[in-house]
Amino acid sequence: AKSAGGNRFELADPEADARAITRHGLTTALPTALDRGEFFIEYQPLVHLGDGSVRGAEALVRWLHPQHGVLGPDRFIPLAEHTGLIVPLGRWVLEQSVRQARDWRERYDQAGPLRINVNLSPCQLTHPGLVQDTVDILERMGVEPDALCLEVTESALIGADDDLLKPLRRLAEMGVDIALDDFGTGYSNLANLRRLPVSILKLDRSFTQSMQQFPADPVDLKIVEGIVALAHSLNLAVTVEGVETGAQAEQLRILGCDTAQGWYYARPGPPERLHELALVDATG
Binding site for Ca ion (CB under 5 A): 119, 151, 181-182
In the complex, the smallest distance separating the C-beta of residue 80 from ligand C2E, rounded to whole angstroms, is: 8
Give the nearer residue to ligand C2E in terms of CB position, either 200 or 243.
Answer: 243
**Residue 13 or 250: which CB sits closer to ligand C2E?**
250
| Pairing assessment for the beta strands 237-240 and 148-153 based on DSSP bridges | unpaired
> Could you say which of Ca ion, ligand C2E, none residue 281 binds, taking C-beta under 5 to 8 angstroms by partner kind?
none
C-alpha 75/C-alpha 50 separation (Å) is: 35
Burial state string for 144-168 with b = 16 or more CB within 10 A and e = fewer than 16: ebebbbbbbbbebbeebeeeebebb
Report what 72 binds from ligand C2E, Ca ion, none; CB cut-off 5-8 Å by kind.
ligand C2E
Chain centroid to CA 187: 19
Inter-CA distances, 86 with 22, 31, 165, 221, 229, Å: 19, 10, 19, 37, 35
Nearest-approach distance from CB 177 to ligand C2E, in angstroms: 15
Q: Backbone phi, then psi, for 164, in 5-degree steps?
A: -75, -35
DSSP conformational letter for 9: T
- Residue 74 site contact among Ca ion, ligand C2E, none (CB < 5 to 8 Å, cut-off depends on kind): ligand C2E
For Ca ion, give the closer residue by CB, 48 or 108: 48
Helix 130-141 to helix 86-107 angle, to the nearest 10 degrees? Answer: 30
Nearer to ligand C2E, 121 or 251 (CB): 121
Residue 134 CB, nearest approach to ligand C2E (Å): 14
d(CA 133, CA 87): 10
269 binds, among ligand C2E, Ca ion, none (CB under 5 to 8 A by kind): none
- Residue 22 beta carbon to ligand C2E: minimum distance, rounded to whole angstroms: 17
Q: How far is the CB of 261 from ligand C2E (least distance, A)?
A: 6
Closest CB 121 distance from ligand C2E, rounded Å: 4
User: Residue numbers of the site for ligand C2E (CB under 6 A)?
Assistant: 44, 60-61, 72-74, 77, 90, 93, 119, 121, 181-182, 241-244, 261-263, 268
Instruction: For the chain, list the strands marked E by DSSP.
Output: 39-48, 54-65, 69-71, 115-119, 148-153, 177-183, 200-203, 237-240, 259-260
Closest CA to 151 of 102, 103, 188, 115: 115
Residue 93 near which of ligand C2E, Ca ion, none (CB within 5-8 Å, type-dependent): ligand C2E
Residue 44 touches which of ligand C2E, Ca ion, none (Cβ within 5-8 Å per kind): ligand C2E
